[in-house]
A and B are shown apart, each in its own frame.
Chain A
């Protein structure tokens, strides 16, 4: 009932298959027929990162015949703490190439389909249509809603997982008669309300836990066994190692899967999530705060200009890397204004430019006449000015 559409003609198992999957074959719930279903199955992993790594590895090991991967990123050193499909030697390589290599090494019979693109309203239906099940391991709200809507429109179940710090969520959305992501969250939070993983951090094992739950659900859906996480939201708290379950209901008024849907084709998801591309003018000035590139900052420092560089990160971050600015963590700035010289130009800097932008706006409101934000923060400094400054 909840199984994905599979070809009626299931492929035969080879002698190698019989040996490799013997521990599956002796399970009555899987057996030869189940293993043939796995061999025929086509699963799309959206994202080859934290969630996608364990998900793809386990599906490949289990004998899923075709795995599609959507990603356009390259491997960065800061990925390796959790994205276990990528190794140290892969830094700088395309994630798709790195993942394909590991998956084929694990299971040479696997058919890997690489989609080197950012999933968008223009390409999502075309990419998803060739798969039976979608496993959403993306890292941002617009893509979450895009994957959901595309799954509902195409009738493909979505093994969903998401993580933040020590906490994870998992469910199966868009299954026949089951609720979808929009039934749970009709609207996205305003941008900036939920901190990103780069700012909020994530425990490295957490995507392992949640990604394996997504893989479990995908395999159960293929085999048609057990009770999939349809209509249930699993909450995982890694610190307490507590699993809780909440009931999810299909919302009859859901705009995409309800009885009278108003979303009948894919929309502009960045606009839906309150995000729009930057214009040229906004790149130069954001909310009244001039944006300074790291190269321009370096030039002005070298020219000996009288700049007050204010670093608003936390002390432990400053210890890892700094460019010699005055350290006042963002939450202490309102109480420590006396230490910030009103007569000089204040250049606010943080890790990637978000916290410093907020503080720069605050300083302007507090009457500082000349304030600028370092666009891209110390990460950009390390990339474009001084690679010896460590990235974290």
Chain B
């Protein structure tokens, strides 16, 4: 199946906008994706392995949170998964605000 990678996360997939995986369920597909691109893991999941609240995963056009079996839903090779992160469309006014905690990017 194809997993669509949104622009803000392509840094972690070597600029690929889509990644092909072979998996039986949504959870297995995400697992394979983050095994192939380990830097993605911390952006999608908390340290306890829970999907982060500001990341939405869609199976075709349906929000995974609203599927009866959630991420245990079975998938086929023609299905697509989309990762939909929030984008604000710009930046906070310069110099007025300060970042309180950030994801390290340099190491």
A244 located at the interface, meaning its Cβ lies under 8 Å from any Cβ of chain B in the complex: yes
Chain A stretch 136-160: residues in CB contact (< 8 A) with chain B: 137-142, 144
A362 located at the interface, meaning its Cβ lies under 8 Å from any Cβ of chain B in the complex: yes
Q: What 0/1 pattern do residues 69 to 107 of B give for CB contact below 8 A with A?
A: 000000000000010111111111111111111111111
Q: Nearest chain A CB to B105's CB is how many angstroms away?
A: 6
Number of chain B interface residues as a range:
35 or more
User: When the two chains form the complex, which single residue of A140, A200, A275 contacts B99, counting CB atoms closer than 8 Å?
Assistant: A275
| Total contacting residues, chain A, CB less than 8 A | 67
A196 located at the interface, meaning its Cβ lies under 8 Å from any Cβ of chain B in the complex: yes
User: When the two chains form the complex, which single residue of A186, A194, A352 contacts B53, counting CB atoms closer than 8 Å?
Assistant: A186
Q: What 0/1 pattern do residues 32 to 55 of B give for CB contact below 8 A with A?
A: 000000000001000000001110
CB neighbours of A200 from chain B (8 A) = 7-8
CB neighbours of A317 from chain B (8 A) = none
CB neighbours of A352 from chain B (8 A) = 94
User: When the two chains form the complex, which single residue of A141, A270, A354 contacts B88, counting CB atoms closer than 8 Å?
Assistant: A141
Q: Nearest chain B CB to A71's CB is how many angstroms away?
A: 11
What CA separation (Å) do A249 and B66 show in the bound complex?
Answer: 8
A233-B84, A277-B97 are contacts. A362–B91 as well, Cβ < 8 Å?
no
A169-B87, A193-B43, A197-B89 are contacts. A247–B61 as well, Cβ < 8 Å?
yes
Task: Tell me if A330 and B97 are in contact (CB < 8 A).
Answer: no
User: When the two chains form the complex, which single residue of B89, B92, B104 contacts A164, counting CB atoms closer than 8 Å?
Assistant: B89
Task: Tell me if A235 and B90 are in contact (CB < 8 A).
Answer: no
B20 located at the interface, meaning its Cβ lies under 8 Å from any Cβ of chain A in the complex: no
Q: What 0/1 pattern do residues 36 to 55 of A give for CB contact below 8 A with B?
A: 00000000000001110000
Q: Which residue of A lies closest to B87 (CB)?
A: A164
CB neighbours of B85 from chain A (8 A) = 189, 194
User: When the two chains form the complex, which single residue of B56, B89, B95, B102 contacts A192, counting CB atoms closer than 8 Å?
Assistant: B102
A190-B102, A362-B106 are contacts. A162–B61 as well, Cβ < 8 Å?
no
Some 12 contacts from A to B, beta carbons below 8 A apart, are A49-B90, A118-B93, A142-B92, A161-B89, A164-B89, A185-B53, A186-B53, A190-B101, A196-B92, A233-B84, A235-B82, A334-B106
Binding site for B on A (CB under 8 A): 49-51, 73, 118, 137-142, 144, 161-167, 169, 184-200, 207, 233, 235, 237, 244-249, 270, 274-278, 282, 286, 330-331, 333-334, 352, 354, 358-359, 361-362, 376, 379
